[in-house]
C-alpha cells in the first residue's frame, strides 16, 4: 500500500512560513531556498512550503481548504498549546472547546492554513 510521504502547502513567502513553523512547532529544517522549504516530521513524513508564485505547474486560485492536525495526549495539553500559541501571537480562529470527536482548538498560519490541536476523548 502506498502512503503519502510529503505534504506541500502553497505559501506566499516560504521564508516567513519556514520561520513560523520552526518557531511554532520546533521543526528541523531539511532544505530551504527563497521559493521552497522542507521539514521532516518525527514520523518520517515531510512537510514542504512552496511559493504559490513559483509552483509548477501553476496552481489555480489558492485558498485554505484543509487542516494540519496535531493530536496530543490530554485536554491539558490542548490548553497548553492554546496558551503558548496565543502568547506567540498566532491567530486563533476557534477557542478550545469540546466537539463530537474530542477537545480541540484551531489556529491559522500566515497564509490562512488551518492548524488544529486536538485530543480524542
CA dist 88 and 22 (Å) reads 13
Residue listed under C-alpha cell 486563533: 92
| Total H helices, total E strands in the chain | 2, 8
Residue 4 has pLDDT above 90, yes or no: no
Q: What is the pLDDT of residue 28?
A: 87
pLDDT digit string (tens) for 64-76? 667 889 999 999 9
- Considering the chain, what percentage of its residues have pLDDT values greater than 90? 81
- In this structure, the number of other CB atoms found within 10 A of the CB of residue 86 comes to 14
Cα dihedral value 61, 62, 66, 68, nearest 10: 170
CA dist 101 and 6 (Å) reads 26
Q: What is the pLDDT of residue 64?
A: 64
**Do 62 and 12 meet the contact criterion of CB atoms below 8 Å apart?**
no
Amino acid at each position: 500500500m502506498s502512503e503519502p510521504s510529503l505534504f506541500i502547502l502553497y505559501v506566499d513567502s516560504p521564508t516567513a512560513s519556514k520561520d513560523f513553523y520552526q518557531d511554532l512547532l520546533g521543526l528541523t529544517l531539511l532544505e530551504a531556498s527563497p521559493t521552497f522549504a522542507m521539514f521532516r516530521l518525527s514520523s518520517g513524513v515531510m512537510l514542504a512550503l512552496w511559493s504559490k508564485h513559483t509552483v509548477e505547474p501553476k496552481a489555480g486560485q489558492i485558498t485554505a481548504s484543509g487542516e494540519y492536525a496535531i493530536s496530543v495526549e490530554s485536554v491539558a495539553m490542548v490548553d497548553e498549546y492554546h496558551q503558548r500559541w496565543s502568547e506567540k501571537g498566532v491567530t486563533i480562529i476557534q477557542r478550545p472547546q469540546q466537539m463530537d470527536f474530542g477537545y480541540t482548538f484551531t489556529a491559522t498560519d500566515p497564509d490562512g492554513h488551518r492548524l488544529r490541536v486536538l485530543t480524542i476523548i
